Amino acid sequence: MPRALITGITGQDGSYLAEFLLARGYQVTGLRRRSSTQNLHRIQHLTGLSLVEGDLTDLASLVRVLDETQPDEVYNLAAQSFVGSSWQQPLATSDITGLGVLRLLEAIRTVNPRIRFYQASSSEMFGKAQTVPQHEGTPFYPRSPYGVAKLFGHWITVNYRESYGIFACSGILFNHESPRRGLEFVTRKISDGVARIKLGLARELRLGNLEARRDWGFAGDYVEAMWLMLQQPEPKDYVIATGETHTVREFVELAFAHVGLDWRDHVVVDPALFRPAEVDLLVGDASRARRELGWRPRVDFPTLVAMMVDADLERLGGGRRAGYSLGPDDGPTEAGPAPGGRSGTGDGGRRMPHRDDAGREGGAPGGGPG
Ligand code: NAP
Ligand code: F7E
């Protein structure tokens, strides 16, 4: 039975990747850092997943975890991943998102250099994009402390592959979203806001730059590409993207229209949510992944928007309360209605019995960049 270790197991991608690998017969261990609050809501529905404690800022913990779990594959998904916060915490972001990759590679080199390694690189490394669309050969020009930290992680991955022969791949993933996306990211902030407005729980939605363009895919599709990279005969870097770009405004329009509302009646543009430096246009060329991995996205943009809005309506109890039909999946969840919302993965996955729906996952604090 192949063994995988996933860092960032409590995050969006960690939960989808764990599901994917468990379904393929892997023995999966997730690395989680110590937290004073419950943050397992994305993975509580999974059976057969083991958790170990460790932190990307603590090399000793990484060595110990590799030694104890002896994985064949390591997927490094852990990061301070919110671009907006990277201006508020540039040093912590660099330490976790940048140096954390080096610590993990050093631990691999020490414990077992035959481990196959996946690094979660990002389209944010293209930043002020030098070509359109962006591909593996496009020069990098990061525009945030997060982007700069990811670039370090990317190059140290390439360097350990070339210096030590480690099977290390860097997946340059463009934005991928889902009902499990953190509430601070714009797509989920919109789907959550639309659901609240539709249900009469809120009246307005404050957003920053509506003109930024992103290549948005579905996270469930993207974790398959991570796995495929580690199954190839040679380690390489791959761009993973849909090849389509849309503005934040288009996401907003579609999300409000999905519930029969006009976005112009509810959206307030707040200059405090603009970023110190913006990434204006991202669109990826994933032809290498299509050709060599046989990978292609399955969920298109309108389907993604609808999926996220429907999931938030269901989570907030709107399927029944608002008389709004969510379609065939509009049934009771295992946990039944909970105070402040119903439980569920909301994306057709199995139900999570104890989801902490009241626990908002941050959100851009007033005055900070979105
Ligand atoms: P996410 O939901 O923000 O999850 C990040 C994970 O990292 C969480 O499990 C978090 O744990 C963990 N983490 C943070 N600091 C840590 C530390 N010091 N030690 C150990 N774990 C730590 O991110 P995601 O959307 O799943 O993204 C997964 C990875 O892909 C990230 O590296 C992200 O930067 C990268 N990426 C994402 C996208 C995208 O569009 N989603 C695109 C390109 C690249 P806590 O729960 O304790 O905070
Ligand atoms: O912003 C604009 C904002 O925070 C998208 C991370 O997963 O993908 C993600 O980074 C755009 C930006 O994601 C608000 O200015 C407008 O132009 O959803 P986001 P991101 O910065 O693209 C990359 C690939 C990663 O690697 C990252 O880890 O939306 N925007 N108004 C807003 N953004 C937010 N968050 N909030 C707003 O109110």
> Is there an atom of ligand 2 within 6 Å of 207 CB?
yes
Task: For residue 11, tell me if it sits in a domain.
Answer: yes
d(CA 265, ligand 1 centre) in Å:
34
Show the beta-strand stretches assigned E in 303-363.
337-338, 341-342
Atom from ligand 2 closest to the CA of residue 81: 28
HSE-up of 62 (CA within 13 Å, CB side)? Answer: 26
Task: For residue 184, tell me if it sits in a domain.
Answer: no
Task: For residue 327, tell me if it sits in a domain.
Answer: no
Task: Decide: pTM greater than 0.85.
Answer: yes
> Is there an atom of ligand 2 within 6 Å of 103 CB?
no
Range of the domain at 31: 3-176+218-240
Task: For residue 68, tell me if it sits in a domain.
Answer: yes
Task: For residue 227, tell me if it sits in a domain.
Answer: yes
What's the whole-number mean pLDDT along residues 252-281? 98
Mutation test of ligand 1: which of 5, 6, 13 has the most ligand atoms closer than 8 Å to its C-beta? 13
Q: What is the CATH number of the domain that holds 16?
A: 3.40.50.720
Task: For residue 113, tell me if it sits in a domain.
Answer: yes
19 DSSP assignment: H
Mutation test of ligand 2: which of 16, 83, 222 has the most ligand atoms closer than 8 Å to its C-beta? 83
d(CA 14, ligand 2 centre) in Å:
19
CA distance 82 to 184: 8
Task: For residue 354, tell me if it sits in a domain.
Answer: no
Task: For residue 345, tell me if it sits in a domain.
Answer: no
Structural domains of the chain, count: 1
Query: For 99-116, how does the pLDDT look when each residue is reduced to its tens digit (9 = 90+)?
Result: 999 999 999 999 999 999
Tell me whether residue 250 is exposed, middle or buried, using C-beta atoms within 10 angstroms of its C-beta: 0 to 12, 13 to 18, 19 or more.
Answer: middle
Query: For 169-209, how does the pLDDT look when each residue is reduced to its tens digit (9 = 90+)?
Result: 999 999 999 999 999 999 999 999 999 999 999 999 999 99
pLDDT at 245 over 90: yes
